[in-house]
Amino acid sequence: MSSLFLTDDGVDLALRGFARVHPQVSLHADPTYATTNDRHPNRRVGLVSGGGSGHEPLHVGMVGRGLLDAAVPGRIFASPHNRQVLEASRRVAGPEGVLHIVKNYTGDRINFGIAAERLRDEGIAVQRVLVDDDIATENAQTATGRRGTAGTVIVEKVLGAAADEGHGLDDLVEVGADVARRSRSVAVARRAQTTLSGGPAFTLADDELEYGVGIHGERAAETIPRPPLDVLVGRMLDDLLQRHEEQRGVVLLVNGLGATTQLELLTIAELAAEHLGSRRVRLLDVLVGTFVPALDMSGFSLTTSAMTSDQLHYWRAEADAPGWPRRPR
């Protein structure tokens, strides 16, 4: 089956390419992790995230000024090893320690957890913010709970700006947990990603849509007849808005899952803005792009984040990382 344009050591070569293209990020080998060369002098806490590869620019692309101090990439769709997390955390720990930003998957929780225990043994303070924004997995049969998806970008951005203002570990945990709690996502796919061995991870009929798909091609609870785009976007927003305690205003993230064009994402953003207006929900800001894809899946996610004014201030702060877009000044 027709496979991706990758070599057998896919991720390693891509990371070397990343380091070549983005010299403002340092790539460390054995174990593999990336750190910023542009750390704000006010930071007292190192921010570390990571997870499986195949979701680029997350996580390595979010290393930079106003964002992460370090990121640890696993193999494709696989958790990083705890030794990667440990070494990255040691390297970027501030005087008040390290904060781990972890997407809610069993492997990531375990590996970040093992590293955290070892760091504490060494006298380094460590805390965790768990990102669990995907509402499609709220009622999953597993005990894991909601998975972490595109909301990770929001949590990383808000925490990055808060860390640059010199907040300590406890403050950051509070900010991060709160903005994570205020952020919810849902994703749809019209075509699965290509697997590493080639061919699509699952098949859908032409008139079908996977509603609530995961970022690794986890099948959703629902395969639905494909509605008109306007109706689809309205349904997704309704599903999201009813999860928010407050919904007077939201930041909206329109995220491509890989093979979705800018034309499509911008169309979706405009439809979503119109829907929010008709529901009297204020659109505080909107970010459109491919930030947390599932390799080359054709689909998109919507994330709404009912930020506080402090969180919005952090969200809007200047940042500079390979995967962070240019924002209006």
- Residues annotated as catalytic are 55, 216
In the complex, least distance from residue 328 CB atom to a second copy, rounded to whole angstroms: 5
Binding window for a second copy (CB under 8 A); candidates: 43-51, 161-169, 243-251, 264-272: 264-272
Task: For residue 90, list its beta bridge partners.
Answer: none
**In this complex, which beta carbon is closest to a second copy, that of residue 21 or of residue 143?**
21
123 part of the interface to a second copy, by CB under 8 A: no
Contact status, residue 66 vs residue 121, Cβ threshold 8 Å:
no
Q: For residue 90, give the H/E element and its range.
A: helix 82-92
Site for a second copy in 268-307 (CB under 8 A): 268-271, 273, 286-288, 293, 295-296, 298, 300
Is there binding between residue 143 and a second copy (CB under 8 A)? no
Candidate ranges 115-123, 129-137, 147-155, 317-325; the one touching a second copy (CB under 8 A): 317-325
Q: Does 74 help bind a second copy (rule: CB under 8 A)?
A: no
The CA-based angle 302-109-103, given to 5 degrees, is: 15
Q: Is 7 in the site for a second copy (CB under 8 A)?
A: yes
From residue 186 to residue 225, what is the string marking binding to a second copy with x (rule CB under 8 A)? ----xx--x---xx----x-xx------------------
Three-state DSSP state, 14: helix
CA distance 114 to 81: 10
Residue 112 CB, nearest approach to a second copy (Å): 22
Contacts of 289 (CB under 8 A, 6+ apart): 254, 255, 256, 262, 265, 325
Tokens of 310: 């402090």
CB of 125 to a second copy, least distance (A): 32
Taking the C-alpha atoms of residue 272 and residue 285, their distance in angstroms, rounded to an integer, is 12
Report the residue number, 62 or 86, with the smaller CB distance to a second copy: 62
Nearer to a second copy, 84 or 193 (CB): 193
Q: How many residues does the chain have?
A: 329
**What SS3 class is residue 140?**
coil
Q: Shortest Cβ distance from residue 162 to a second copy (Å)?
A: 22
For a second copy, the closer of residues 129 and 294 by Cβ is 294
* DSSP-derived secondary structure for 144-208: S-SPP-THHHHHHHHHHHHHHTT--HHHHHHHHHHHHHTEEEEEEEEEPPBPTTSSBSS---TTE
C-alpha to C-alpha distance for 256 and 42, rounded to whole angstroms: 34
For the bound state, the minimum distance from the C-beta of residue 300 to a second copy, rounded and expressed in Å, comes to 7
Which pair of structure tokens corresponds to residue 273?
């803005």
Considering only residues 6, 114, 224, 241, which one is a binding residue for a second copy as defined by CB under 8 A? 6
Decide: is 322 part of the binding site for a second copy (CB under 8 A).
Answer: yes
Nearer to a second copy, 98 or 236 (CB): 236
End-to-end CA distance of the chain: 46
Cα(165)–Cα(264) distance, rounded to whole angstroms? 36
Task: Please report, as ranges, the residues that interact with a second copy according to CB under 8 A.
Answer: 1-2, 4-7, 10-11, 13-18, 20-24, 53-54, 56-57, 61, 76, 190-191, 194, 198-199, 204, 206-207, 226, 228-230, 258-271, 273, 286-288, 293, 295-296, 298, 300, 320-322, 324, 326, 328-329
